[in-house]
Structure 1
């Protein structure tokens, strides 16, 4: 990807995250509630936020992912992020990830952003399958992906070791043809 794809929805602009966004990122990734299922300890310093931004840039450079900053239209402040990681192009699949600052929970913003990137992934990145790996206690993320048409395929036991413990993760997936069917039925 030469130029970063900016995506617009009804209420949002999804754009590249830059070093200038470090304070915003630190603001929400230092919140224990936001970080509860993130797989990292809450951020403590601006360096943590800059490391996260560097990771966003490295996955794009290495073609293993892309991460968008979520902003409300007419506002420059990043209030969350969403994107793809662990892209496996030979198998036409990727994992999806997302988080949002707590004051914007429950407003449909994350679902709006995730739906936009899923659509982009199928149309422009040639994905056939998009996966979401979600901890069993993370009910709000499960509801979000289920609302978008993802199916729970099973439980991956002790799948990740994060924050000093092994985590089980539900494997969800959404196939291109299922997403297309949902979009057609909504039209």
Structure 2
């Protein structure tokens, strides 16, 4: 992986490293019950909680287990979400993708814009063959997002994760490098 954190740009977005200066913006959405409902995580309460999350993002890169970009609006630089890889298995050329977005930006295509840029980066720079998304069945917006962006549902993983005092079922979705290559050739 590059030693300098790679920035990705899209039409409306700058995907960049999250910094402590982003903590207030991040706390706004990471403390929102609607944003956190399907993450398996507790609501963030303080700026220190967010700083721990930023440290985790940094550790992903340092350990080679993933990379997480902050999603910032190009026009304002304001952090409105994040998207990236974790549970990366270089030996098997796969990683899991995750994301969240501030509610005032839902339904505007921003999540798709960020997801597409991150997926392409994974295939072209991380040499991934497979990208997985694990999604709670009740998280219909996330299911629509990945399906719209070429991920295929592979099955239901029953009681796959434990969080917030309960076991969660998760759908396993994936997209393969050849799925993107084929879309590029056809499109």
TM-score (norm 2): 0.98
C-alpha distance in 1, partners of 2:184/2:7? 21
Secondary structure of the equivalent of 1:167? strand
Q: Residue by residue, what CA displacement relative to the aligned partner does 1:142-180 show, whole Å, maximum 9, x if unpaired? A: 111001111000000000001110000000000000111
Q: Residue by residue, what CA displacement relative to the aligned partner does 1:60-112 show, whole Å, maximum 9, x if unpaired? A: 10000100000111211100000000000000000000000000000000010
- The residue aligned with 1:86 is 87
Segments of structure 2 that go 5 or more residues without pairing to the other structure are none
- The residue aligned with 1:165 is 166
TM-score (norm 1): 0.98
C-alpha distance in 2, partners of 1:104/1:88? 32
C-alpha distance in 1, partners of 2:183/2:26? 33
- The residue aligned with 2:155 is 154
- The residue aligned with 2:99 is 98
Q: CA deviation at 1:42?
A: 1.0
Q: CA deviation at 1:40?
A: 0.8
Flag as ranges the 4+ runs of structure 1 deviating above 6 A.
Answer: none
Segments of structure 1 that go 5 or more residues without pairing to the other structure are none
- Over aligned residue pairs, what C-alpha RMSD do you find? 0.7
Does 2:130 correspond to 1:129?
yes
Does 2:112 correspond to 1:111?
yes
C-alpha distance in 2, partners of 1:37/1:81? 15
- The residue aligned with 1:56 is 57
Contact persistence 2:157–2:172 (CA under 8 A):
yes
Secondary structure of the equivalent of 1:169? strand
- The residue aligned with 2:29 is 28
Contact persistence 2:137–2:170 (CA under 8 A):
yes
C-alpha distance in 1, partners of 2:100/2:160? 20
Q: CA deviation at 1:185?
A: 2.2
Equivalent residues, number: 186
C-alpha distance in 1, partners of 2:185/2:21? 39
